[in-house]
Structure 1
Amino acid sequence: MIRVLHVITGLEHGGAERQLALLLPHLPPTVACEVVSLTRAGTVGAEIAAGGVPVHELGMGGNRDLAALPRLVRLIRRGRYDVVHTHLYRACVYGRVAARLAGVGPRRSAPRIIATEHSLGDGHLEGRRTTRGVRALYLATERLGSLTIAVSPTVERRLHAWGVAPERVEVVPNAVDAAAFAFDPARRAATRAALGLAPDEPVVGAVGRLVPTKRFDLLVDALARPALAGARLLVVGDGPQRHALDRLAAARGFYGRAVLAGGTADVPGALAAMDVLAAPSVQETFVLGVLDGLAAGLPVLYTACPALDALPSGAAPGARRLPPAADADRWSAELARLLPSGARARAAVPPAVARHHAVADQAARLARLYAGEPAGGADRAPTTREVIPT
C-alpha cells in the first residue's frame, strides 16, 4: 500500500480542485490518499470527504501565515506518508518545505515529493502576473521536491524555460470523466429553470475563473452585437473580475441577458444548459473547460487550448479556433453560426476526450509515478489545428 498526502491551497471551486476530486476515486486500491487544504476545505473538500477520503483543514490565514508550516510538518509526520503530492503555488511552496522538514525526501526507488503544475502561463501563474520574487521562490522550493508533473507539453516547455531540469518534469495531462458529462435533457431543463433561462433561449456559455486573462469581457462585448441579439450569456466561475463584468454588461445594455452564475459543483448541469461553449483566453496551460464542453457534446469556439494542440488533427472535430486578434464582431459572427447546431443535437464524445484524456488512464499514470515507474503515454507532439481565418 502506498500512502499519499495531497496538499492543496484550498478546496473551493476551481480547475485544480476539480481535477483532484475527479482523480481520487479512480486511483487503484494499492494507493491510499488523504488530502489537506491549507485554507478552507470548502465545497470540493466536502465532496472528497463524502467519497471516503480523509480531508484535513489547516486554517492558513494567508500567504505569509508561517504558523501553518509547523502544523503541516506535524500532520505529515503523524501520517507517515510515502508520497506528498502538492497542487497550486502556495501549497507547492509550503508543502515541499514541510515534507522535507518532516523527513520525506527523494529516494532511488520512487519520487516522494511530487508537485502538479496546473497553471503556469506565459508571464502569469494562476491568473496573476509573475514577479522575480515569485519565480525565485518557486524554483528554490522546486529543488526540494523529486518531480513536477506538467498538465500539458506547453506547461512542460514553460517549466524548462524557467530553469527546471527536463529530467525533473513528467507530463500527465488533466483527465475528463466523459460519462459525467453525458447530455441529459431533464438536467438541462432543471438547470435552465434554476438560472432563469427559458427552455428555448440560445445560450452562449463560458467556464473559468473570472480574471482578466480569460477575456470574458470580450464575450460580453460579442453578445451585445446584433448578430446575437436574442442570445443569453452564462458564465460559470467566480473571481476578482465579477463586478467589472457586471458593470460592463450594464454599460453595453446587456445586463439582463448576462448570467454570472458563480462557482458550482454541477459543471455538467451548467454545460447541459448551454448551446455553445466559448473560451476566448489567449493565455492558457490546458483549458479543461474546453474538454469538458466537448465531452458534453457542445460545439466549442476557443483561442488557446494546449490540451488540443498536443493531439492529432481530427481528435476534436467539434472545436474551432479563432486567432488571438479576433475582435468582438468576429466572435459574435462565429458564435451566431455555431449556436443552432448546439441547440439541435449533441455530438458524440470525440477522441480528444475518450482516447487521450480518459480519467481511468490518467489515474493509472499517477499510480505508476507513485510506485516509482514511468508514467508513460504522454502526448507531446504538437500539431497544427484549424484556425478560422480573419
Structure 2
Amino acid sequence: MTRVLHIITGLGRGGAEQQLLDLIRHMSGLVDNEVAVLSRPGPVAVALREHGVPVHAVGMRGNRDLSALPRLARLIRAGGYDVVHTHLYRACVFGRIAARIAGVRTIIATEHSLGHGHIEGRSTTAAVRMLYTATERLGTTTVAVSPTVAERLRGWGVPPDRVTVIPNGIDAEAFAFHAERRARVRARLGLDPNAFVFGAVGRLVPTKRFDLLIQAFAHLDDGLLLIVGDGPQRAALHRLADSSGVAARTMFAGESGDVPDVLSAIDVLAAPSEQETFGLSVIEGLAAGLPVLYTACPALDDLPPGMVPAQARHVPTGLVAWRAALTRCLLQSPTRWPPPEAVQHYDIRVHAKTLAELYESHRHRPAKGARAAWPAVAPRQYERAEHAGL
C-alpha cells in the first residue's frame, strides 16, 4: 500500500483542513496516510488521531523559523514515505524543499485557495508569487481543486502538463437534513424555533464579503442572521452589525466543528464571496436541501450544462442585488429541497479514489532524474513573502 505523508500548515477548522480530513477518511484501505502539521495542530488533528491517523507536529514557531526545514526533512526520511503531499502555501514551500532533501521522488501539492490577487485570503505580492512558482518546480504535479484554479495556476506560469484537476468532494449523507437536528441546534444556539434564519459559513476575511451581507440584511425588518466562522475581520464585522442597527438580530457563532448542524438550523445559505477557488459551502448547503444565494462558485460554474440546480441563485455583487435577493427569500416560506444531482457530482468517495490512483501512478512512473534545478531563493525574498503572512 502506498505510504503518503500529508504536510499542511495548520489543522485548525478551515476548508482545506476539513477537506484533508474527509479525503483521508475515505482513502482508508486504499492508502496508508500520515500527516505532518507545521504549526497549530488544532481540532482537526484531534479528529485525525481519533480516526487512527498519525499526526506529527513539526513545531514551526513562525514563518521565519527555517529550523523547521531540517526537522521536516528528517521526519520524511525516517518515515520512508512513497509520496509527500503538501497543502496550503507555507506547507507547499517548506514541504517540497524538505521532500527533495529527503530524497522523495513523488511530491504532490494541492492548491486549495488561489484567487485573483490573493491566496488564502492574503495578497499575492511579487515575492509570494516568485517563491510559490520557484518551489513548485521541485514537485511532481500540482492538484487544482477546480478548473478555475487550474487556469489561475497556468496564469502564474505553471505548465499545463504539471496541473491535475481533482475537485473538492463532499459526503452528502453527512449533510442530510433532519428535523430533530434542526430543533436541537436551534435550542443550543438560542435561536427562535420559528424565526427565519439566514446563514453564512466561512473564514472572516475581506474576500468573503460578509460586510456586504450585513449591510444588505440591515434593510430587512425581520429575520435573523447567523454567521459561522472566525478570522481577522471578526471585530470589524461586529462593529458593522452594531452601527447598522442589526446587532440584536445577528449572531456570530465563531468556528464550528459541525457544519451539517449549522446548515440544519438555517433557512437560506448566503455566500456573497466575490472570489472562490471552489465554493464548497455552496455545495454543502445544497446537500442540506437549502436554497442558496451565491456570487462566486466555480463548483457550479464547472458543472455540465443543465446541472446547476434551481435552488442555487446567482446574485451579482453589490448592495442592491443582495438586498433584493434576501428580501425575496424572506417573503417565501422556508423550503427544503432534495439534494440535487450536482451534489453527487462531487462525491468525496470518487475523488478520494482518484487521488489514490494518482499517487499510485506517479509512484510507479520511471524516474527521469531531477525535474528542475533547485530554485535560488534568497533569504530577503523569503522574508518579503513572509510579510504577507503566509
TM-score, normalised with respect to structure 1: 0.90
Structure 2 counterpart of 1:385: none
1:320 counterpart (313, 323, 335)? 313
In the alignment, the residues of structure 2 paired with residue 363 and residue 255 of structure 1 have an alpha-carbon distance, to the nearest angstrom, of 42
Structure 2 counterpart of 1:87: 87
Is the aligned partner of 1:351 residue 2:355?
A: no
Structure 1 counterpart of 2:276: 284
Query: How far apart are residue 185 of structure 1 and its match?
Result: 1.4
In the alignment, the residues of structure 1 paired with residue 107 and residue 333 of structure 2 have an alpha-carbon distance, to the nearest angstrom, of 44
Amino acid in structure 2 at the alignment position of 1:336: T
Structure 1 runs (4+) greater than 6 angstroms displaced: none
Write out aligned runs for 1:303-318 (5 A).
303-317=295-309, 318=311
User: Is residue 316–residue 322 contact of structure 2 (8 Å, CA) maintained in 1?
Assistant: no
Residues 1:273 and 1:49: Cα distance change in structure 2 (over 3 Å): same
User: Is residue 111–residue 142 contact of structure 2 (8 Å, CA) maintained in 1?
Assistant: yes
Is the aligned partner of 1:229 residue 2:229?
A: no
Is the aligned partner of 1:331 residue 2:322?
A: yes
User: Mind listing any 5+ residue stretches in structure 2 that lack a counterpart?
Assistant: 364-390
Structure 2 counterpart of 1:17: 17
- The DSSP-based 3-state class of the residue aligned with 1:335 is helix
Residues 1:342 and 1:3: Cα distance change in structure 2 (over 3 Å): farther
Is the aligned partner of 1:27 residue 2:17?
A: no
Q: Write the deviation string for residues 87-140 of structure 1: whole angstroms up to 9, x where unpaired.
A: 0000000000100011112xxxxxx10000000000110001110000000001
Is the aligned partner of 1:365 residue 2:357?
A: no
- The DSSP-based 3-state class of the residue aligned with 1:261 is strand
User: Is residue 280–residue 302 contact of structure 1 (8 Å, CA) maintained in 2?
Assistant: yes
Structure 2 counterpart of 1:381: none
Structure 2 counterpart of 1:380: none
RMSD: 1.4
Amino acid in structure 2 at the alignment position of 1:262: G
- The DSSP-based 3-state class of the residue aligned with 2:361 is coil
Structure 1 counterpart of 2:381: none
In the alignment, the residues of structure 1 paired with residue 333 and residue 33 of structure 2 have an alpha-carbon distance, to the nearest angstrom, of 39
In the alignment, the residues of structure 2 paired with residue 126 and residue 342 of structure 1 have an alpha-carbon distance, to the nearest angstrom, of 37
Identity %: 61
1:144 counterpart (134, 138, 145)? 138
Residues 1:342 and 1:373: Cα distance change in structure 2 (over 3 Å): farther
Query: How far apart are residue 28 of structure 1 and its match?
Result: 4.9
Count of equivalent residues: 362
In the alignment, the residues of structure 2 paired with residue 174 and residue 309 of structure 1 have an alpha-carbon distance, to the nearest angstrom, of 14
- The DSSP-based 3-state class of the residue aligned with 1:217 is helix
Amino acid in structure 2 at the alignment position of 1:233: L
In the alignment, the residues of structure 2 paired with residue 256 and residue 21 of structure 1 have an alpha-carbon distance, to the nearest angstrom, of 35
2:153 counterpart (159, 172, 175)? 159
TM-score, normalised with respect to structure 2: 0.90
- The DSSP-based 3-state class of the residue aligned with 2:293 is strand
Q: Write the deviation string for residues 67-98 of structure 1: whole angstroms up to 9, x where unpaired.
A: 11111111101110000000000000000010
User: Is residue 195–residue 259 contact of structure 1 (8 Å, CA) maintained in 2?
Assistant: no
In the alignment, the residues of structure 2 paired with residue 98 and residue 87 of structure 1 have an alpha-carbon distance, to the nearest angstrom, of 14
In the alignment, the residues of structure 2 paired with residue 277 and residue 236 of structure 1 have an alpha-carbon distance, to the nearest angstrom, of 11
In the alignment, the residues of structure 2 paired with residue 339 and residue 35 of structure 1 have an alpha-carbon distance, to the nearest angstrom, of 44
- The DSSP-based 3-state class of the residue aligned with 1:372 is helix
